[in-house]
Amino acid sequence: MVSVTPKARNIEITAEGLQEDLARLEIQKQALERELAAVTAHLGSVERALSALQALMPESVPSSAAARPADVVAKAPATTAPVPAAVPSADQAEEGADDGDRAEDGSSTGDADGSKSYGKLTEQILAYFADAGNTDVRARDVASALGRDTDSGSINAVRSTLDRLVGQSRVRRVGRGLYRAAKR
């Protein structure tokens, strides 16, 4: 029979606890990286939309109204610029949840009719609303129906896409967190 001293047993218990914490923190880190990638993608789309709107604004707009969004756009990339290069590539390798966002935002050339080359996620959401008809649905329900409710980053990607579709008048926001297909 081998006797274990209380000190050795305490060290063993502490090591086991730290092992469990390490595993939990690794999972949490991966989820946060996915969420950061979704936020970064949304930030990029908001910046592009803002710059497009500013290009359309007449020059006679008061400087205080025009300067404030420009300041926000100028400050935001400085804090997030180093991260997008590393994080999205790992995120895309894992699940490809942002494929729709990237294809929709970066490589399309829209025209006056609003016709665009949309990404996979956008097309899935539009197909979901075509089937849903005239019912109010939550972003989480859309994410669940598309199989993108595994973590907060995937759900946020769906929310970001829904927000873009609301801006394009392809989906209507009918209440806080509620969406409905736009009448055409």
Phi-psi domain of 133 (left: phi exceeds 0; alpha: psi -120 through 50; beta: other)? left
For 4-39, what is each residue's pLDDT tens digit?
A: 799 999 999 999 999 999 999 999 999 898 888 888
What burial class does residue 26 get, using C-beta atoms within 10 Å of its C-beta: 0-12 exposed, 13-18 middle, 19+ buried?
Answer: exposed
The list of the chain residues with pLDDT below 50 reads: 63-67, 69-117
Q: How far apart are CA 21 and CA 23, in angstroms?
A: 6
Q: What pLDDT does 112 receive?
A: 41
Can you spell out the DSSP letters for 123-157?
A: HHHHHHHHHH-S--EEHHHHHHHTT--SSHHHHHH
Q: What pLDDT does 7 receive?
A: 92
Q: What pLDDT does 25 receive?
A: 92
Q: What pLDDT does 26 receive?
A: 92
Amino acid at position 75, single letter: K
Q: What pLDDT does 151 receive?
A: 86
Question: Domains in the chain, ordered, with CATH?
Answer: 114-181 (1.10.10.10)
